Structure 1
Amino acid sequence: MAQTELLNSGVAVGYYRWRICALLFFATAINYIDRQVLGILAPQLQAELHWSDSHYGLIVTAFQVAYAIGFLFMGKIMDNYGSRRGYAFAVLVWSIAAVVHAGARTAVGFGVARFALGLGEAGNFPAAVKVVAEWFPIKERSLATGIFLSGSSIGAIVAPLVVPVIAIRYGWEWAFVLTGLSGIVWLVFWLATYRPVNVHPKVSAAELAYIQSDPPEPTHDIPWRQLFKYKQTWAFAWAKFLSDPIFSFYFFFLPKFFNSQFGLTLDKIGVPIMIIYVMSDVGSMVGGWLSSFLIRRGWSVARSRKVTMLLAAFTVTPVYFASQTDDLQVAVALIGLALFAHQAWSANLLTLPSDMFPRHAVGSAVGIGSTVGAIGGMFGATTAGFLLESTHAYGPLFVVAGSAYLLAWIILHLLTPELKVSLADKDIIL
């Protein structure tokens, strides 16, 4: 088969890009493991180091604030210095910060380490989405995004299994050290493996042609400040603002929900949480695969992404009944389905910046939108706490969790009826 026929048929020619995707997956898993260590060890640390609940709350807030701030300049770093150096810098910062936790003995010390961790970890998604834009054609990007995004669920599963074992056998300090050093190990593989796609010695001419088979993009820069003028930027940002807090709600409040609703203690909560995150893992890949499949079937990029996201938004809605049932298995199934749909949604939402902006601006666009999403997460966690304190009921929270995606989809569609690649002088409709 001639090369042009291969490109037209969508048949993959070479597979090195999937090795790069595997590195993105492992980086995302490490990212989520590192951020969970403190939460898993919090009861022990509070007892041993005499923290109050307010001290712990401020330590968590330090991470959230830094995470929101970090997205802005980390996205710009990725675009200015390139994926190889930018990603390496982010992983190095968060890995060192993770290890530094082991030397902290006061709330202030942990707060400083947590702030540094948030700054570094903010680089993961701008870098990973940018790498996907550079290494994958449009028809494969949501699948690649879904695969690396599934690393977040794997991290959420692995951390509760590994961290307690390390802490019990070697002390809590080593839980921070060993998980932090895993990022350094990843960094060695990254620097040994990654080169820009157009000069990579292990990418064949046929695979390079396949990766670059989309219409050519302009090479001129889009100033960072100009990104705030585009509706596409705000469409992505508002969708993140409304949907990111929902994942944060599950991430931080599920153990408390299962304890208050079903009486599950720490020694019994592991299996339900694992089932839920396995379902979310599958959702990442199914959501990414579906829109890629529809594009290969001849659908437009806009229609493929939006139909997949709309299906995900509707799939979330039954989660309200998790707060109304007395059956643990039903609650786990409903919440698992909601997280399945959330990850399917996110696989496509994170792909949109690479659809709507040239590759050299993708990191910055992701950074801006993710900052807005992180701010939404901070407000969401605070609001959830006040609602629970005043109502002692999870029903209102699950109503919001079940409806936020439909509202986000409507706003996204109104701002971008057609997905367009934003350029300085024109828009290209996809």
Structure 2
Amino acid sequence: MSSTTIGKYRWRIVALLFFATTINYIDRQVLSFTIINEQFQLDILGLPLGHKITAADDAHLKALLGYVDAAFKIAYAMGFLFVGWFIDRVGTRKGFSFSMLLWSIAGVLHGLVSRAAGLIGARFLLGIGESGNFPAAVKTIAEWFPRKERSFATGIMNAGANVGVIATALAVPYIIHHFGWRASFVITGGLGLILLLCWRTWYNQPRKVQQLSAEELAYIESDKDEIHTDDGQKIGWIKLFGYRQTWAFALPKFFTDCVWYFFLTWLPMFFAKSNTFDENLDLSTVGIPFLVIYIVSDLGSVFFGWLTSTFMKKGWSANKARKTTLFLCGLCALPIVFAAKTHSLHLAIALIALGTAAHQGFSSNILAMVSDIFPKKAAASVTGIGGMMGGVSGALVSLYVGQIEGYLPVFIYASSAYFIALLAIHLCVPRMQKALI
């Protein structure tokens, strides 16, 4: 059956996941841009209005940001284990609803804090809530798409992350300028409540959606080897640690997620404070560079997802198609090390854009890989384990960056991380065979 002769309802579900990921990233990104606002810096450091920020204050602020971001990443890691398990048991509709509600409340709470301790608490709660997005999205795509379309669908969903960063970079400076930094958290946190209403109104499993045609349902369920794999039996996540396939996903997440988290958290500070550039950015000028970086990232997410799907439609095995694409992503990430050494701000932006595009392409493919090597009933739990590993590495990198001068060591690692991750995948699943659960 050709995908062009059936309905397109499943792509509405991808659109919903895209916007969920967009809002998820808006809520987590607000802090990264607010941190370069002088009034926010004074409030969090407990300094009086009119105090001139010194080099010592900058170092203290950087260390505090390291602790604050580590709290988010630790909670994110912990939340991934619980939320993935929770979603596999109660289903994506209920599980994702809980996640959206929790991260929206946490986002608003950021605007009510007065010191770093309160910010750490709000950030921890946000990490727990936001950990539900990707396990729920991956499970939803596994439920709504045949295998040959999952990479492309995942790429579209994952592109919401970049749109979220772009929206934050453009909107937050405006909000802060007109309403103050506290309003930036309250307004963006409220978006999640609107998303929750949309999710509860429009989402359900394919067989429960009356508007779905019989032809499209048959196409969604066309993978013959998956017909009897989702038998309702629940898989304990502890048991999943015993499968090589779990580590084929978890280890790459550990090696690469920390790079992405570094970009998300520290790039505004890097552009504003780095002494290698001929010019620096501030809150009023940071929007356009981030627009460039994350539009390119979006293209990378969709392109590399499309590329794998195209390879598979040509008859390539999932093993060959995914690993070829992952290798190409690794090649694109290699030059990023020079972004920390160049004096040209524009060259640094171009190199970082290429690196983030490579990351998003890599991420889309390993997220889609979960449904290649595990049955649908374990998809959210396995994604949660991988997310936990990524959160741990992200916390470690944030603590490290907060204590060092400059950023060069992290850029050196970022240029090689994707080849390390690809090697781990190949060693764990040489033929990308499905786990027998």
Q: Return the TM-score normalized by structure 1.
A: 0.91
- Aligned partner of 2:21 in structure 1 is 28
8 Å Cα contact 1:222-1:423 kept in structure 2: no
- Aligned partner of 1:260 in structure 2 is 275
Match among 220, 225, 237 for residue 211 of structure 1 = 220
- Cα distance between partner residues in 2 of 1:381 and 1:147: 28
Match among 87, 105, 108 for residue 99 of structure 1 = 108
- Aligned partner of 1:237 in structure 2 is 250
Match among 156, 163, 169 for residue 165 of structure 2 = 156
After superposition, the C-alpha distances for 1:393-414 in whole angstroms (9 at most, x for unaligned) are 62x4322111111111011101
- Aligned partner of 2:144 in structure 1 is 135
My pick for the range that moved more, 220-229 or 45-54, is 45-54
Q: How does 1:131-210 map to 2 (within 5 A)?
A: 131-210=140-219
Q: How does 1:372-391 map to 2 (within 5 A)?
A: 372-386=389-403, 388-389=404-405
Q: State the Cα distance separating 1:49 from its structure 2 match.
A: 4.8
8 Å Cα contact 1:12-1:210 kept in structure 2: no
8 Å Cα contact 1:21-1:144 kept in structure 2: yes
Q: State the Cα distance separating 1:55 from its structure 2 match.
A: 4.7
- Aligned partner of 1:14 in structure 2 is 7
Percent sequence identity is 44
Q: State the Cα distance separating 1:10 from its structure 2 match.
A: 4.5
Q: State the Cα distance separating 1:67 from its structure 2 match.
A: 0.9
Residue identity in the other structure for 1:100: L
Match among 237, 262, 270 for residue 224 of structure 1 = 237
Structure 1 residue 360 and structure 2 residue 377: aligned?
A: yes
- Cα distance between partner residues in 2 of 1:279 and 1:411: 27
After superposition, the C-alpha distances for 1:266-302 in whole angstroms (9 at most, x for unaligned) are 0333322221111101000001101111111111112
**CA separation of 1:398 and 1:79: change in aligned 2, threshold 3 A:** same
- Cα distance between partner residues in 1 of 2:190 and 2:434: 39
Match among 342, 349, 369 for residue 332 of structure 1 = 349
After superposition, the C-alpha distances for 1:324-366 in whole angstroms (9 at most, x for unaligned) are 4333333322221111111111110111111111111100000
Give structure 2 stretches of 5+ with no counterpart. 47-59
Structure 1 residue 249 and structure 2 residue 262: aligned?
A: yes
- Cα distance between partner residues in 1 of 2:430 and 2:331: 19
Residue identity in the other structure for 2:141: V
Residue identity in the other structure for 2:393: G
Residue identity in the other structure for 1:184: L
Give structure 1 stretches of 5+ with no counterpart. 1-5, 425-430
- Aligned partner of 1:344 in structure 2 is 361
Match among 58, 77, 80 for residue 89 of structure 2 = 80
Residue identity in the other structure for 2:275: S
Residue identity in the other structure for 1:377: G
After superposition, the C-alpha distances for 1:368-412 in whole angstroms (9 at most, x for unaligned) are 1110111111122333444x42xx562x43221111111110111
After superposition, the C-alpha distances for 1:196-230 in whole angstroms (9 at most, x for unaligned) are 11121111100000010002232133332210100
- Aligned partner of 1:279 in structure 2 is 296
Residue identity in the other structure for 2:280: L
8 Å Cα contact 1:143-1:288 kept in structure 2: yes
- Cα distance between partner residues in 1 of 2:407 and 2:8: 50
Structure 1 residue 45 and structure 2 residue 56: aligned?
A: no
8 Å Cα contact 2:142-2:371 kept in structure 1: yes
My pick for the range that moved more, 227-236 or 314-323, is 314-323
After superposition, the C-alpha distances for 1:146-186 in whole angstroms (9 at most, x for unaligned) are 10111111111111221222233233332222211111111
8 Å Cα contact 1:290-1:308 kept in structure 2: yes
After superposition, the C-alpha distances for 1:240-286 in whole angstroms (9 at most, x for unaligned) are 11111111222233334434222313033332222111110100000
My pick for the range that moved more, 70-79 or 29-38, is 29-38
8 Å Cα contact 2:29-2:265 kept in structure 1: no
Aligned residues: 413
Q: Return the TM-score normalized by structure 2.
A: 0.90
Structure 1 residue 322 and structure 2 residue 366: aligned?
A: no
SS of the residue corresponding to residue 434 of structure 2 reads strand
- Cα distance between partner residues in 1 of 2:379 and 2:436: 12
8 Å Cα contact 1:228-1:234 kept in structure 2: yes
Residue identity in the other structure for 2:276: Q
After superposition, the C-alpha distances for 1:71-130 in whole angstroms (9 at most, x for unaligned) are 000001110000100011100110111122233334333222221111000101111111
8 Å Cα contact 2:169-2:290 kept in structure 1: no
- Cα distance between partner residues in 2 of 1:50 and 1:333: 33
- Cα distance between partner residues in 2 of 1:46 and 1:255: 14
Residue identity in the other structure for 2:323: K
8 Å Cα contact 1:94-1:121 kept in structure 2: yes
- Aligned partner of 1:427 in structure 2 is none
**CA separation of 1:137 and 1:30: change in aligned 2, threshold 3 A:** same
**CA separation of 1:171 and 1:383: change in aligned 2, threshold 3 A:** closer
**CA separation of 1:111 and 1:398: change in aligned 2, threshold 3 A:** closer
- Cα distance between partner residues in 2 of 1:339 and 1:362: 25
8 Å Cα contact 1:317-1:403 kept in structure 2: yes
